[in-house]
Amino acid sequence: LNDILTKTVSSNNKKYLGKKVFVLIRETKNGFAFGKTATFKTVKIPNKNLKPGDLVRAAITKTLAWGLGGHLAPSSRKMLAS
């Protein structure tokens, strides 16, 4: 069952590669910011002075076991600040 779930998650996450998505930052840790997309996917991006509550646009560049990885999109700016 775990193998099936892992394959399904991986397949779904691949649909996000190359896309830009809005991410609500939930926490920062060890030089990274972690947030959620509108579809509740977890996104890990390098922290560039982001704080919980910031809404940014991220370019998705890789899939992770249970989430997505990327960086701030060039046109990204903080939409909200806590």
- What confidence tens digit (pLDDT) does each residue in 13-61 have? 999 999 999 999 999 999 999 999 999 999 999 998 999 999 999 999 9
First-to-last C-alpha distance (Å) of the chain: 40
Q: Is the pLDDT of residue 5 over 70?
A: yes
Q: Counting beta carbons within 10 angstroms of the beta carbon of residue 51, is it exposed (0 to 12), middle (13 to 18) or buried (19 or more)?
A: middle
Q: What is the pTM of this model?
A: 0.83
CA–CA separation, 30 vs 44, rounded Å? Answer: 11
- The H or E element that residue 27 is part of is strand 20-29
Residue 79 has pLDDT above 70, yes or no: no
